[in-house]
Structure 1
């Protein structure tokens, strides 16, 4: 009888991004989402602005950024801290304040607060596969938001320049029309209105 090992099927894992909350509501309620939120779906931040979330394996996870350069061929290393193993975290961990914004009036009414804050002890450690994928996703979100922010600033500058140009063109057209009608245009500045110091001395 053959004792050879059979072929093992390769496990395929697919990362699912956090599910957006309907109108920012994280609690079930009438005319709102019917299901309560899952911990992994809530996108929190530390007081320093670092992404944080809840994982059933690693508990509270804080994403502290990326080391390495993917374009340079280096392997990216995601810096993470978690509250897994509270006894270790209490001895060598850092105290963090995790903030969950409550953008929904229903949540604010039910919890009687504008944001949900809680203290947690975390320490540097590696995280599970799903949290590593979450780090990659959060990093892409920050990059996209940064690009969108720069694009908005650029559009604001363009709109401001366009508005200044339109005002200048309108002023030039008004002055040209007044000249054609034989109307003298008024001075544009206080110095032009009263004359410079040299002009006033010469007049005396």
Structure 2
């Protein structure tokens, strides 16, 4: 894998309105149906994100679906019901959400594999207390300020809530690299260490 393939969009802060999907147990097949998994490229996957939910049988957008509504356009934060991203481990799920324009997903519970895949690809999965998530779901379109370095979500009224995130994953998000990209950035230090070790023999 090249160094270019190991970079993602740096995520330091996300300020955006929310779009809400209150359903629980939204699985990865609902995020991106299995028939779209044949591609190995990310570009264009946003057009099929939530495909069987967003579109009617004739292929036209369903105006009742939350992400199709005019007020949702440009929203970068998805607030979802409990157990978001459950099901299969397809990495295409965070790819599709990112290509759609989302930068963060907030829920009271996010499936572990989806969470891991998201962090590796620059999508910020945030778990907050159920009462806070219920409040956000009851107020779609609310403006949030997510500070990745501080690991906080701030509401318009000034209340701030901390969310858990692995330190290494946070560093990768802030620097805009994946795991391999992080290692490649340390190549000079690694080379210096190896040279010193060889001389010490």
- Would you say same fold, with TM above 0.5? no
Report the TM range for the smaller structure's normalisation.
Answer: under 0.3
| Greater strand proportion | 1
Structure number, greater radius of gyration:
1
Q: Which has the higher contact order (CA 8 A, sep 6+)?
A: 2
What is the TM-score when the length of structure 1 is the normalising length?
0.24
